[in-house]
Amino acid sequence: MRANFHLKTLTVAVATLSVISVANAAGLDRSGQDITAFLQDGTYAEAVYTYIDADVTGKDTSGNKIDDIAESYDFFRYGVKTDVNDTFSVGILYDEPFGAAADYSGDNNFVGAPTDAVNNIIASRLGDRGVTDVQGLRDLVEGAQGQISASESRLNQAREQVRQAQAAVSQNPALEPVLRPQINAGLAGIAAGETQLAAGQAQLNQLEQLEDFADGRLANTEGTKVEVRSESITGILGAKFGSNKEFQVYGGPVAQRVKADVRLRGSAYGPATGYTAHISPDTDYGYIAGISYSKPEIALKAALTYRSEIKHDAKAFEVFPIATAAGATAGLALPTTRYADIEINTPESVNLDFQTGINPTTLATAKVRWVPWSDFAIVPSLYNDVSKVSTQDDKGLALVSYDDDQWQVELGLAKRLTPALAVSGNIGWDSGAGNPVTSLGPIEGYYSAGLGAKYNVTENWAISAGGKYLWFGDAEGQIPSKTIVSDFESNDGFVLGVKVSYQAQ
């Protein structure tokens, strides 16, 4: 016999729509770090699949069109919990809490050759000689090569004259008094010429190295790209208390793994164009803690959950073609590659989950989330060292940082239509993490609206599905120096979710 669809289980119909974050809507938030699986009654398990497709287009400061940079992505979330007895509960949750996926293409300042940046570097090195661009550098190299060739020719002629004079003296010693002054003068001239030639060759080598660097940068046809991935496993132990066991405290350890790849290309990044970083996977640990309250007779549940910051001490391999040139300008010895430690602290967060019955067939829900992205930064060491040269201070720049904290709010209603079927709808708002914001994720929050449904297939098994439409806030993209490099307007996206769940009480 099919079980009735009780009011207190209507929340399952809404949970499939609880993907209240989208990549870079605020910081790197993705999953919303939902824990509602642990708050279900009895033994409960779920598997959730989420697919997100965003359309993020704009223009660079030159007026060039920027095609969609937001790569579609998907992720899974799993959860299982059970009641050990009427006091203690245990659970394990898996999700992918933080991430980013942006890829620039087309004809704009985030793709290809950084002509302006290369010309600026040439001007800083050779401006006192009237050379301010690549063509001027090529002309200078060609002229220097001609001078070296002419000097070598003159030296060869001088060597031949000295050789002939020495041969004549060898054959006829009587010529010694006449030819010796000429031979000595010739040898002195050859020595001076060789010194001048060596100095000229050293200068030519430096010019040719700068030309090779410029040619390498100008031959670059790649686009800016970023990919950040994370995985998290949370173990939770809960203990109920109160006269009716209406309160519960819970907490446990969190294991989190992160990795990232960043590639900066195009003239928008100026001297930083060509920078590449690979942050190797790293696993570190934090914790979760919370308290909940329930009143089953009116389907009321409220939970306040805190997740700690997690400090990752990872390894980063950086490639920065301009590093040596920048270091030379400041009298520093900076390499073009570096493999070193990097500290990345994924932020703490607070989630509030609330639901209550309105009438015997209707449930109201609310979710609120806070994440202090203003405290977050990614600061690779080589990038930071080079930026100290351009900013002329001891602090330098972070590769990624945000100005504001993130707030998310979602309100929903669920309605039971039949004993086996319920539908839900919700609206949401995300504050974003500031505007202007990093060009690697140029969205200032969003508004959303969603619909979903849950169907009880059997007494214990159910399937839920839902979708959301998202209106992204307009944003200006900036590089770490706070220079505005792009403008993104009138963008949107959608989210689709499917959940399979099992519950036994």
pLDDT for the residue 25: 57
Gap between the Cα atoms of 20 and 426, Å rounded: 10
492 alpha-carbon distance from chain centroid: 20
| Percent of the residues in the chain that have a pLDDT greater than 90, as a whole number | 45
Spatial separation of the C-alpha atoms in residues 92 and 7, rounded to whole Å: 25
Tokens at 475, concatenated: 């944003």
**E strands within 264-295?**
276-295
Q: Is 154 exposed, middle or buried (0-12, 13-18, 19+ CB in 10 A)?
A: middle
Give pLDDT tens digits for 189-219: 888 888 888 888 888 888 888 888 777 777 7
Query: Is 325 a residue whose pLDDT tops 70?
Result: no
Q: Between β-strands 475-478 and 437-438, what pairing exists: parallel, antiparallel or unpaired?
A: parallel
> Domains, the chain, ranges and CATH?
7-105+231-258+351-504 (2.40.160.60), 127-215 (1.20.58)
Number of neighbours of residue 415 by Cβ within 10 angstroms: 16
Residue 441's closest CA among 392, 400, 483? 400
Determine the Cα–Cα distance for residues 75 and 73; give it in Å rounded to an integer. Answer: 7
Is the separation of the CB atoms in 252 and 288 below 8 Å? yes
pLDDT band at 326 (very low <50, low <70, confident <90, very high): low
Average pLDDT on 400-409 reads: 90
Determine the pLDDT at residue 94: 96
The owner of tokens 């089953």 is 296
The closest of 77, 69, 75, 79 to 99, measured between CA atoms, is 75
Instruction: Name which of 32, 40, 33, 20 is nearest 80 in CA terms.
Output: 40
Do 33 and 48 contact (CB within 8 A), yes or no?
no
pTM score, whole prediction:
0.80
Give the pLDDT confidence score for residue 29 in this predicted structure.
Answer: 85
456 three-class SS: strand
Q: Evaluate if residue 329 carries a pLDDT over 90.
A: no
- Helix and strand numbers (H, E) in the chain are 6, 24
- CA-based end-to-end distance of the chain: 16
Q: What pLDDT band is residue 24 in, cutting at 50, 70 and 90?
A: very low
pLDDT (average), residues 321-328: 62
> How many whole angstroms separate alpha carbon 52 and alpha carbon 76?
12
- Check residue 43 and give its pLDDT: 95
Which of 51-65, 118-132, 161-175 tops mean pLDDT? 51-65
Largest CA distance in the chain: 131
State the Cα–Cα distance between residues 372 and 374, nearest whole angstrom.
5
Point out which residues pair with 359 in neighbouring strands. 362
Residues 6 or more apart in contact with residue 505 via CB below 8 angstroms:
41, 42, 43
Q: Is the pLDDT of residue 247 over 80?
A: yes
Share of the chain above pLDDT 70, in %: 91
Least-confidence region, from 39-43, 206-210, 287-291:
206-210
Res 2 pLDDT > 90: no
Q: Which residues contact 179 (CB under 8 A, 6 or more apart)?
A: 165, 168, 169
327 pLDDT band, cuts 50/70/90, is low
Tens of pLDDT along 409-422?
Answer: 999 999 989 888 99
Contact 68, 57 (CB under 8 A): yes
> If you average pLDDT over residues 303-307, what whole number do you get?
97
For the chain, the average pLDDT equals 86
Using alpha carbons, select from 51, 56, 50, 58 the residue that is nearest to residue 34: 50
Q: Which residues pair with 333 in a beta bridge?
A: none
Per mean pLDDT, which range of 93-97, 178-182, 364-368, 447-451 is the poorest?
178-182
The yes-or-no verdict on residue 10 having pLDDT over 50 is: no
Say whether 438 sits in a helix, a strand or coil.
Answer: strand
Is there a contact between 431 and 451 (Cβ–Cβ < 8 Å)?
Answer: no
